[in-house]
Amino acid sequence: MLPRFEGAFSLVVMDLSRIIGVRDPRGFRPLCLGRLEGGWVLASETPALDTVGASFVREIEPGEMVVIDGSGVHSSRPFADEEIDPKLCLFEFVYFARPDAELYGHNVHQARVRMGEHLADQAPVDADLVMGVPESGIPAAEGYARRSGIPFGQGLVKNRYIGRTFIAPSQEMRALGVRMKLNPLREQIAGQRLVVVDDSIVRGTTTRKMVQMLRESGAAEIHMRISSPPYRWPCFYGMDTGTRAELLAADMEVSEIRDYLGVDTLSYLGLEALVEAVGAPGAGFCTACLTGEYPVAIPAEAGKGVLEGGTTSRPEPQSLFQGSMFDLENVTIGTTEETTVAGSDPDAGVVEEPRG
Protein backbone atom coordinates (compact mmCIF):
# COMPACT_ATOMS: atom_id res chain seq x y z
CA MET A 1 0.00 0.00 0.00
CA LEU A 2 2.79 2.44 0.82
CA PRO A 3 3.88 3.02 -2.81
CA ARG A 4 0.32 4.21 -3.54
CA PHE A 5 0.59 7.13 -1.11
CA GLU A 6 0.95 10.59 -2.66
CA GLY A 7 1.74 13.93 -1.08
CA ALA A 8 3.82 15.01 1.90
CA PHE A 9 4.39 12.66 4.82
CA SER A 10 7.04 11.72 7.33
CA LEU A 11 5.71 8.81 9.37
CA VAL A 12 6.88 7.02 12.47
CA VAL A 13 5.03 3.77 13.22
CA MET A 14 5.78 1.36 16.03
CA ASP A 15 4.71 -1.92 17.58
CA LEU A 16 6.12 -3.75 20.60
CA SER A 17 9.42 -4.63 18.97
CA ARG A 18 9.95 -2.36 15.97
CA ILE A 19 9.91 1.27 14.93
CA ILE A 20 9.40 2.16 11.29
CA GLY A 21 10.21 5.55 9.81
CA VAL A 22 9.27 6.50 6.27
CA ARG A 23 9.58 9.67 4.23
CA ASP A 24 7.64 10.49 1.07
CA PRO A 25 9.51 10.26 -2.27
CA ARG A 26 10.01 14.02 -2.43
CA GLY A 27 10.97 14.51 1.20
CA PHE A 28 8.75 17.55 1.70
CA ARG A 29 9.10 17.31 5.48
CA PRO A 30 12.26 16.36 7.39
CA LEU A 31 12.95 13.15 9.30
CA CYS A 32 16.26 12.17 10.83
CA LEU A 33 17.99 9.27 12.54
CA GLY A 34 19.93 9.55 15.79
CA ARG A 35 21.95 7.22 18.01
CA LEU A 36 21.60 6.69 21.73
CA GLU A 37 23.67 4.40 23.88
CA GLY A 38 21.81 1.15 23.47
CA GLY A 39 19.18 2.52 21.08
CA TRP A 40 18.16 4.55 18.07
CA VAL A 41 16.04 7.67 17.63
CA LEU A 42 13.77 9.00 14.88
CA ALA A 43 12.90 12.70 15.02
CA SER A 44 11.34 15.36 12.83
CA GLU A 45 14.15 17.82 13.66
CA THR A 46 17.71 17.44 14.88
CA PRO A 47 17.22 19.58 18.05
CA ALA A 48 15.01 16.81 19.42
CA LEU A 49 18.05 14.53 19.36
CA ASP A 50 19.94 16.97 21.58
CA THR A 51 17.02 17.02 24.01
CA VAL A 52 17.21 13.27 24.63
CA GLY A 53 21.01 13.13 24.51
CA ALA A 54 21.23 11.39 21.15
CA SER A 55 23.80 12.05 18.43
CA PHE A 56 22.80 12.84 14.86
CA VAL A 57 23.51 10.04 12.39
CA ARG A 58 21.86 11.14 9.16
CA GLU A 59 18.66 12.35 7.53
CA ILE A 60 16.22 9.75 6.30
CA GLU A 61 16.33 10.14 2.54
CA PRO A 62 13.28 10.92 0.39
CA GLY A 63 11.46 7.68 -0.40
CA GLU A 64 13.39 5.71 2.22
CA MET A 65 11.92 3.43 4.88
CA VAL A 66 13.92 2.38 7.93
CA VAL A 67 12.98 -0.45 10.29
CA ILE A 68 14.60 -0.42 13.72
CA ASP A 69 14.52 -3.60 15.77
CA GLY A 70 16.72 -5.43 18.23
CA SER A 71 19.33 -6.15 15.56
CA GLY A 72 19.74 -2.56 14.41
CA VAL A 73 18.60 -0.28 11.60
CA HIS A 74 17.47 -1.72 8.27
CA SER A 75 16.88 0.48 5.22
CA SER A 76 14.68 -0.22 2.20
CA ARG A 77 13.29 1.70 -0.78
CA PRO A 78 9.58 0.92 -1.27
CA PHE A 79 9.08 3.58 -3.96
CA ALA A 80 10.09 3.31 -7.59
CA ASP A 81 13.30 5.11 -8.54
CA GLU A 82 11.51 7.40 -10.97
CA GLU A 83 9.32 8.69 -8.14
CA ILE A 84 12.26 9.93 -6.07
CA ASP A 85 12.61 13.67 -6.58
CA PRO A 86 13.87 15.56 -3.48
CA LYS A 87 11.75 18.66 -2.81
CA LEU A 88 12.30 19.72 0.80
CA CYS A 89 9.98 22.60 1.71
CA LEU A 90 12.07 25.75 1.26
CA PHE A 91 10.07 27.43 4.02
CA GLU A 92 11.60 25.01 6.52
CA PHE A 93 14.70 27.21 6.18
CA VAL A 94 12.73 30.46 6.08
CA TYR A 95 10.34 29.93 8.97
CA PHE A 96 9.09 26.48 9.96
CA ALA A 97 12.23 24.78 11.27
CA ARG A 98 13.82 25.61 14.58
CA PRO A 99 16.90 27.83 14.20
CA ASP A 100 19.13 25.19 15.78
CA ALA A 101 18.01 22.52 13.30
CA GLU A 102 20.22 21.02 10.62
CA LEU A 103 18.71 20.44 7.16
CA TYR A 104 20.58 19.25 4.07
CA GLY A 105 23.66 19.39 6.28
CA HIS A 106 23.30 23.13 6.95
CA ASN A 107 22.39 25.05 10.09
CA VAL A 108 19.04 26.87 9.77
CA HIS A 109 20.08 29.89 11.86
CA GLN A 110 23.14 30.57 9.74
CA ALA A 111 21.07 30.24 6.57
CA ARG A 112 18.67 32.88 7.90
CA VAL A 113 21.57 35.21 8.72
CA ARG A 114 22.81 34.82 5.14
CA MET A 115 19.30 35.64 3.88
CA GLY A 116 19.57 38.97 5.70
CA GLU A 117 22.99 39.63 4.22
CA HIS A 118 21.69 38.98 0.71
CA LEU A 119 18.71 41.22 1.44
CA ALA A 120 21.03 44.07 2.47
CA ASP A 121 22.87 43.71 -0.83
CA GLN A 122 19.64 43.59 -2.81
CA ALA A 123 17.70 46.36 -1.01
CA PRO A 124 19.96 48.85 0.82
CA VAL A 125 18.48 51.89 2.54
CA ASP A 126 19.64 54.75 4.80
CA ALA A 127 18.38 54.07 8.32
CA ASP A 128 19.25 54.36 12.00
CA LEU A 129 18.29 50.92 13.33
CA VAL A 130 17.76 47.38 12.04
CA MET A 131 15.25 45.36 14.03
CA GLY A 132 13.83 41.88 13.50
CA VAL A 133 10.27 40.71 14.04
CA PRO A 134 10.45 38.04 16.78
CA GLU A 135 11.37 35.33 16.56
CA SER A 136 12.17 34.04 13.08
CA GLY A 137 12.90 37.49 11.63
CA ILE A 138 15.74 38.18 14.05
CA PRO A 139 18.54 36.13 12.40
CA ALA A 140 17.90 37.79 9.03
CA ALA A 141 17.89 41.20 10.77
CA GLU A 142 21.28 40.36 12.27
CA GLY A 143 22.58 39.52 8.81
CA TYR A 144 21.13 42.72 7.32
CA ALA A 145 22.73 44.82 10.05
CA ARG A 146 26.08 43.08 9.71
CA ARG A 147 26.23 43.57 5.94
CA SER A 148 24.80 47.13 5.89
CA GLY A 149 26.68 48.50 8.88
CA ILE A 150 23.46 49.85 10.40
CA PRO A 151 23.20 49.13 14.15
CA PHE A 152 21.07 46.18 15.17
CA GLY A 153 18.63 46.59 18.04
CA GLN A 154 15.49 45.22 19.60
CA GLY A 155 12.29 47.10 18.81
CA LEU A 156 9.58 44.58 19.64
CA VAL A 157 9.06 42.34 22.64
CA LYS A 158 7.27 39.06 22.05
CA ASN A 159 4.83 37.54 24.51
CA ARG A 160 6.20 34.02 24.84
CA TYR A 161 2.78 32.63 25.72
CA ILE A 162 1.14 33.56 22.40
CA GLY A 163 1.45 31.21 19.42
CA ARG A 164 1.59 31.82 15.68
CA THR A 165 -1.05 34.34 14.68
CA PHE A 166 -1.15 33.53 10.96
CA ILE A 167 -2.91 30.23 11.71
CA ALA A 168 -5.60 31.72 13.96
CA PRO A 169 -9.03 30.72 12.60
CA SER A 170 -10.43 34.19 11.86
CA GLN A 171 -9.18 37.59 10.69
CA GLU A 172 -10.50 39.24 13.86
CA MET A 173 -8.61 36.81 16.09
CA ARG A 174 -5.43 37.28 14.06
CA ALA A 175 -5.68 41.08 14.38
CA LEU A 176 -6.30 40.89 18.13
CA GLY A 177 -3.51 38.37 18.52
CA VAL A 178 -0.92 40.80 17.14
CA ARG A 179 -1.20 43.26 20.04
CA MET A 180 -1.24 40.37 22.47
CA LYS A 181 1.83 38.87 20.80
CA LEU A 182 4.03 41.94 20.20
CA ASN A 183 4.72 45.09 22.18
CA PRO A 184 6.98 47.93 20.96
CA LEU A 185 9.94 49.36 22.86
CA ARG A 186 9.05 53.03 22.46
CA GLU A 187 12.38 54.41 23.66
CA GLN A 188 14.15 52.42 20.93
CA ILE A 189 11.73 53.39 18.19
CA ALA A 190 10.79 57.06 18.67
CA GLY A 191 12.35 59.31 16.00
CA GLN A 192 14.25 56.46 14.37
CA ARG A 193 14.41 55.42 10.72
CA LEU A 194 13.77 51.70 11.04
CA VAL A 195 14.65 48.73 8.86
CA VAL A 196 12.15 46.09 9.98
CA VAL A 197 13.09 42.57 8.86
CA ASP A 198 10.66 39.67 8.84
CA ASP A 199 10.79 36.21 7.29
CA SER A 200 7.54 36.41 5.29
CA ILE A 201 4.14 38.03 4.88
CA VAL A 202 1.28 35.55 4.54
CA ARG A 203 -2.07 37.27 5.07
CA GLY A 204 -0.57 40.60 6.12
CA THR A 205 -2.65 40.95 9.29
CA THR A 206 0.27 40.75 11.69
CA THR A 207 2.50 43.00 9.62
CA ARG A 208 -0.06 45.76 9.13
CA LYS A 209 -0.94 45.92 12.83
CA MET A 210 2.73 45.83 13.75
CA VAL A 211 3.45 48.77 11.43
CA GLN A 212 0.63 50.72 13.08
CA MET A 213 2.15 50.06 16.49
CA LEU A 214 5.56 51.25 15.30
CA ARG A 215 4.01 54.43 13.89
CA GLU A 216 2.16 55.04 17.15
CA SER A 217 5.47 54.62 18.98
CA GLY A 218 7.04 57.45 16.99
CA ALA A 219 8.99 55.72 14.22
CA ALA A 220 10.16 58.35 11.70
CA GLU A 221 10.42 55.90 8.78
CA ILE A 222 9.67 52.20 8.35
CA HIS A 223 11.49 50.25 5.67
CA MET A 224 10.14 46.68 5.50
CA ARG A 225 12.50 43.94 4.35
CA ILE A 226 11.29 40.36 3.85
CA SER A 227 13.83 37.52 3.72
CA SER A 228 11.80 35.48 1.21
CA PRO A 229 9.88 36.15 -2.03
CA PRO A 230 6.17 37.11 -1.97
CA TYR A 231 3.99 34.29 -0.62
CA ARG A 232 1.46 33.94 -3.43
CA TRP A 233 0.16 30.35 -3.37
CA PRO A 234 -1.37 28.15 -0.64
CA CYS A 235 0.46 25.13 0.71
CA PHE A 236 -1.15 21.70 0.29
CA TYR A 237 1.76 19.77 1.80
CA GLY A 238 1.15 20.11 5.51
CA MET A 239 0.82 23.82 6.34
CA ASP A 240 -2.50 25.63 6.83
CA THR A 241 -1.95 28.98 5.13
CA GLY A 242 -5.52 29.41 3.90
CA THR A 243 -6.86 29.82 0.38
CA ARG A 244 -5.17 31.87 -2.32
CA ALA A 245 -7.79 34.59 -1.84
CA GLU A 246 -6.51 35.04 1.73
CA LEU A 247 -2.87 35.54 0.70
CA LEU A 248 -1.89 39.20 0.53
CA ALA A 249 0.57 38.84 -2.36
CA ALA A 250 -1.67 36.62 -4.49
CA ASP A 251 -3.05 39.47 -6.59
CA MET A 252 -1.13 42.53 -5.41
CA GLU A 253 2.07 44.09 -6.69
CA VAL A 254 4.83 44.99 -4.24
CA SER A 255 3.93 48.68 -4.44
CA GLU A 256 0.31 47.88 -3.58
CA ILE A 257 1.40 45.75 -0.62
CA ARG A 258 3.66 48.61 0.53
CA ASP A 259 0.73 51.01 0.53
CA TYR A 260 -1.56 48.53 2.25
CA LEU A 261 0.95 47.95 5.04
CA GLY A 262 1.69 51.65 5.43
CA VAL A 263 5.48 51.38 5.15
CA ASP A 264 7.86 53.78 3.41
CA THR A 265 9.58 51.08 1.35
CA LEU A 266 9.14 47.33 0.92
CA SER A 267 11.50 44.76 -0.58
CA TYR A 268 11.43 40.97 -0.78
CA LEU A 269 14.44 38.68 -1.17
CA GLY A 270 14.59 37.10 -4.64
CA LEU A 271 14.17 33.36 -5.04
CA GLU A 272 17.66 32.76 -6.43
CA ALA A 273 19.21 34.72 -3.57
CA LEU A 274 17.13 32.75 -1.07
CA VAL A 275 18.28 29.40 -2.44
CA GLU A 276 21.86 30.65 -2.51
CA ALA A 277 21.59 31.74 1.13
CA VAL A 278 20.53 28.23 2.15
CA GLY A 279 23.93 27.05 0.97
CA ALA A 280 22.96 23.63 -0.37
CA PRO A 281 23.91 23.70 -4.08
CA GLY A 282 22.17 21.03 -6.11
CA ALA A 283 19.61 20.27 -3.42
CA GLY A 284 15.97 20.10 -4.44
CA PHE A 285 13.33 22.37 -2.92
CA CYS A 286 9.58 22.79 -3.08
CA THR A 287 8.82 26.41 -3.93
CA ALA A 288 5.09 25.99 -4.64
CA CYS A 289 4.01 28.74 -2.24
CA LEU A 290 6.29 31.18 -4.06
CA THR A 291 5.97 30.05 -7.67
CA GLY A 292 2.73 28.06 -7.94
CA GLU A 293 4.70 25.07 -9.25
CA TYR A 294 3.40 22.10 -7.25
CA PRO A 295 5.58 18.96 -7.34
CA VAL A 296 2.53 16.77 -6.68
CA ALA A 297 -0.63 17.56 -8.64
CA ILE A 298 -3.34 19.24 -6.55
CA PRO A 299 -7.00 18.36 -7.27
CA ALA A 300 -9.11 21.43 -8.00
CA GLU A 301 -11.40 20.69 -5.03
CA ALA A 302 -8.59 20.14 -2.54
CA GLY A 303 -8.54 22.21 0.62
CA LYS A 304 -8.00 21.86 4.33
CA GLY A 305 -11.59 20.62 4.65
CA VAL A 306 -10.33 17.29 3.36
CA LEU A 307 -8.49 16.91 6.67
CA GLU A 308 -11.16 18.52 8.85
CA GLY A 309 -14.20 16.54 7.78
CA GLY A 310 -15.23 18.94 5.01
CA THR A 311 -16.92 17.77 1.86
CA THR A 312 -14.78 16.51 -0.99
CA SER A 313 -15.37 14.44 -4.07
CA ARG A 314 -12.16 12.50 -3.51
CA PRO A 315 -12.53 8.95 -2.19
CA GLU A 316 -12.09 8.56 1.54
CA PRO A 317 -8.54 7.48 2.40
CA GLN A 318 -8.17 3.92 3.53
CA SER A 319 -7.34 3.46 7.19
CA LEU A 320 -3.71 2.69 7.93
CA PHE A 321 -4.99 -0.30 9.86
CA GLN A 322 -6.70 -1.77 6.79
CA GLY A 323 -4.66 -3.86 4.44
CA SER A 324 -1.70 -4.16 6.80
CA MET A 325 0.27 -1.21 5.47
CA PHE A 326 3.57 -2.45 6.87
CA ASP A 327 2.54 -6.06 7.48
CA LEU A 328 2.55 -5.28 11.19
CA GLU A 329 -0.14 -5.99 13.76
CA ASN A 330 -1.34 -3.56 16.42
CA VAL A 331 0.35 -0.61 14.69
CA THR A 332 0.26 2.68 16.59
CA ILE A 333 0.76 5.98 14.82
CA GLY A 334 1.70 8.86 17.13
CA THR A 335 0.52 12.07 15.54
CA THR A 336 2.05 14.28 18.25
CA GLU A 337 5.30 12.41 18.88
CA GLU A 338 8.20 14.19 17.27
CA THR A 339 10.92 11.99 18.74
CA THR A 340 10.71 8.22 18.96
CA VAL A 341 13.35 6.26 20.79
CA ALA A 342 13.93 2.54 20.39
CA GLY A 343 16.47 0.02 21.58
CA SER A 344 16.71 -3.71 21.79
CA ASP A 345 14.24 -3.61 24.71
CA PRO A 346 10.77 -4.41 23.28
CA ASP A 347 9.25 -2.00 25.84
CA ALA A 348 11.19 0.99 24.46
CA GLY A 349 9.25 4.21 25.06
CA VAL A 350 8.39 7.44 23.33
CA VAL A 351 9.78 10.87 24.17
CA GLU A 352 7.91 13.97 22.97
CA GLU A 353 9.64 17.18 21.88
CA PRO A 354 7.37 19.94 20.47
CA ARG A 355 8.40 21.22 17.09
CA GLY A 356 9.12 24.97 16.56
pLDDT tens digit sequence for 156-205: 998 876 655 544 555 555 556 677 788 999 999 999 999 999 999 999 98
For residues 346-354, give the mean pLDDT: 32
Residue pLDDT, tens place only, 112-156: 999 999 999 999 999 999 999 998 899 999 999 999 999 999 999
Residue 94 lies in a domain: no
Q: Is 115 found in the same domain as 54? A: no
pLDDT of residue 306: 52
Task: Pick the last residue of a domain from 281, 316, 335.
Answer: 281
Structural domain includes residue 103:
no
Q: What is the mean pLDDT of residues 234-251?
A: 91
Same-domain pairing of 74 and 125: no
Domain-embedded: residue 95: no
Domains identified in the chain, total number:
2
Same domain, 49 and 187: no
Q: For residues 274 and 313, state if they share a domain.
A: no
Burial 184-220 (b: 16+ CB within 10 A, else e): beeebbeebbbbbbbbbbbbbbbbbbbbebbeebebe
Residue 290 lies in a domain: no
Report if residue 150 sits inside a domain. Answer: yes
pLDDT of residue 345: 40
pLDDT score at 319? 37
Both 213 and 272 in one domain: the answer is yes
Answer whether residue 220 is part of any domain: yes
Mean pLDDT of 230-257: 93
Q: Is the domain of 123 the same as that of 231? A: yes
- Measured distance CA(284)–CA(27) in Å, rounded: 9
- Do 53 and 130 fall within a single domain? no
Q: What is the mean pLDDT of residues 205-218?
A: 94
The verdict on 115 and 263 lying in the same domain is yes
Please indicate, yes or no, if residue 258 is contained in any of the structural domains.
yes
- Same domain for 266 and 155: yes
The beta strands (E) that lie in the chain are given as: 10-14, 19-23, 32-36, 39-43, 55-59, 65-69, 72-76, 88-89, 102-103, 106-107, 129-132, 156-158, 182-184, 193-198, 221-226, 265-268, 285-286, 332-333, 339-343, 350-351
Residues ≥6 apart with Cβ < 8 Å to 90: 274, 275, 278, 285, 286, 287, 290
Give the domain extent around 193: 108-281
Is 242 domain-assigned? yes
Residue at which a domain ends, from 234, 257, 281: 281
Which of 235, 252, 281 corresponds to the end of one domain? 281
Looking at the structure, do residues 322 and 269 belong to the same domain, yes or no? no
CATH number for the domain that contains residue 245: 3.40.50.2020
What pLDDT is recorded for position 238?
86
Distance CA 1, CA 10 (A): 16
Could you read off the pLDDT of 292-313 as tens digits, one per residue?
A: 999 998 876 666 555 455 444 3
Do residues 213 and 257 share a domain? yes
pLDDT in the model for residue 281: 84
User: Between these two residues, 341 and 217, which has the higher pLDDT value?
Assistant: 217
Asked if 306 and 214 sit in the same domain, the reply is no
54-112, pLDDT tens digit by residue?
999 999 999 999 999 999 999 999 999 999 999 999 999 999 999 999 999 999 999 99
